[in-house]
Structure 1
Amino acid sequence: MDGWMDVGIDNFLISPVVVIPVIPSWIFGQAEEVDISAGTMWDTTLQYFRSRSQLTGSDAVQLKWSHAVNSRNALAQALSSPSHMIEADVIMRDHDPMEPIMAHPPDTDSDITLKEWLEKVKMTSKGIKLDFKSLEAVSPSLALLEDLLAEPDRPLWINADVLSGPSGRTAPVDFRAFLSLVSDLPAQTVLSLGWTTGWTVGTNNPGYSWDMVHAMEEKSRDLKQPVTFPVRAALLAQSFSQLSWLLKQSDRYTLTVWTGQHDEFAPQDLKLYRKHFDVSRIYYDLPNSQTAELLMS
């Protein structure tokens, strides 16, 4: 997924089941009754920040993000900010010394390497989300994460777009190869598995299809880690039935709502999801003004 600034749970209370009525097929193309239960919360991201008195309650919309932290200056700002999670893109430098660096394509170089980036972040209590844009960067990056993986509590999210999604034009990272590298990560690591997507203003942009969510669930069902599915905010209204079904399939699953820099969507599209899903199971990687509006809803 591309964050909105790219240039480029918790406790073990069982939440009540929320039953979403059958949705007519003329709205979503396939009618299914969906019941959503939070169940046992495998993803301990919220618990980590609550234990440090940085969050209260279990509403994941409270989580604050720093996006595209791909330079020394951006990292310094993120580390001094109130953000809980720091997101950055990882690629391999295309010239010597060949090593993982923080950059978003089409950039091919950076003023900070992943090793340097991690050394600074590890001195704080921030959570980490690494977005891999290429498969070749994954293995050498995981080798650099050994010290971090020894911290069982700190949130570590590993993201890649592994399937083609609505209007996706970029080639996804090879799913089988990616999973072969990350499937043995500790059970508390959050795997963030997304679709490549596109969005064009003034057109009828398609949502996530049944084939797309079925393929993603099939590939995710046997993983031991919690899985979050990054979903584009501007595509949520036309994908409610499909994403409801996906989230229902396992209590290891959450959604992470994100937006492109120029995307347009209605706030009520997000409020519909907040109404029908346990609030601990949907993260909002959005500008602060939009998450503030959701908190007041």
Structure 2
Amino acid sequence: MLEADIVLGQVTGKDGPPVPIMAHPPATTSDITLADFMTAVAQYNNVNPKQKGVKLDFKSIEAFEKSQEIIARFSKPEVTFPMWLNADILPGPIKATTKPVDPDKFLELGSKHSRAVLSVGWTTAHTGNNAEGEYNRDQIGAMLRLLNNHRINQTVTFPLRAGLASNSQPVVLDLLRESKYLNSSMTVWASEEDPIEVERLRALILTVGLERTYLDVPRELAAKLKLPTPDVNAKH
């Protein structure tokens, strides 16, 4: 999977109204637009048997709204490479200064692209206290209610910050059990400096199951987890 952040901004050296570009806040300029990025991925996948999927991480609802036409081009049934639409749509553990992307608008627009996986998570902050933070029942309950209220019926994955998720096994298991009808999974992610209890994280992943877990962590942490090789024939 190729993960990329999308904001509204300008292409380097060009004038005109803001367009969806590949950049991470606070950057507002880039040498590549979302449209060019998606075209390049499609061209690669047209000539390579091993497909590259994309996880598009939207940093504002405005960027997502302006990207709808582009996303629609790659949501057609004849396009086969995986496409995830990601945003942090609810406030989560350890209060982040980042404002969540508007949850109702994100789900309303995301549900129009039924081929895409909706990757919906919570804002978090990076602090030395991450080792003690956790997701709670109110936070997962709010997410489940949102998905239900918007009648979401496409595949969903929940991005969970590794150090926090490993402290939250009971509620993570509840979240995945109550969303199983959406073919749900968790995407465990971590920043380089995050404090993580490796054995506790490993236990969570093995309890949830490799077939319902995606990893987006530094290579060193992935090696420490010593996870068994996933069964490529497992159904998901």
Structure 1-normalised TM-score? 0.67
Matched-pair contact (CA < 8 Å) for 2:188–2:215: yes
Q: Which runs of 5+ in 1 are unaligned?
A: 1-84
Count residues with an aligned counterpart.
Answer: 212
Pairs within 5 Å for 1:2-151: 85-93=1-9, 96-124=16-44, 125-150=51-76, 151=78
Residue type at the aligned position of 1:180: E
Counterpart Cα distance in 2 of 1:267 and 1:134: 32
Matched position secondary structure for 1:265: coil
Partner in structure 2 of residue 228 of structure 1 = 157
Matched-pair contact (CA < 8 Å) for 2:90–2:101: yes
Matched-pair contact (CA < 8 Å) for 1:131–1:159: yes
Q: In structure 2, which of residues 85, 90, 99 is the aligned counterpart of residue 171 of structure 1?
A: 99
| Cα deviations by residue, 1:176-221 (Å, 9 ceiling, x for unpaired) | 11112111212x3100001000131157642111100110111123
Percent identical residues: 39
Matched-pair contact (CA < 8 Å) for 2:199–2:225: no
1:288 to partner: Cα distance: 2.5
Matched position secondary structure for 1:87: strand
Matched position secondary structure for 2:29: coil
Q: Which runs of 5+ in 2 are unaligned?
A: 45-50, 229-236
| Cα deviations by residue, 1:251-278 (Å, 9 ceiling, x for unpaired) | 2211000012321102212211133122
**C-alpha RMSD of matched pairs (Å):** 1.8
Counterpart Cα distance in 1 of 2:41 and 2:32: 13
Matched position secondary structure for 2:100: coil
Matched-pair contact (CA < 8 Å) for 1:199–1:205: no
Greater relative contact order: 1 or 2 (C-alpha under 8 angstroms, separation 6 or more)? Answer: 1
Counterpart Cα distance in 1 of 2:128 and 2:137: 24
Residue type at the aligned position of 2:5: D
Counterpart Cα distance in 2 of 1:204 and 1:155: 32
Q: 1:291 to 1:165 in 2, by over 3 A?
A: same
Counterpart Cα distance in 2 of 1:214 and 1:179: 16
Counterpart Cα distance in 2 of 1:258 and 1:180: 25
In the alignment, structure 1 residue 196 sits paired with structure 2 residue 127: no
Pairs within 5 Å for 1:279-294: 279-294=210-225
Q: 1:294 to 1:285 in 2, by over 3 A?
A: same
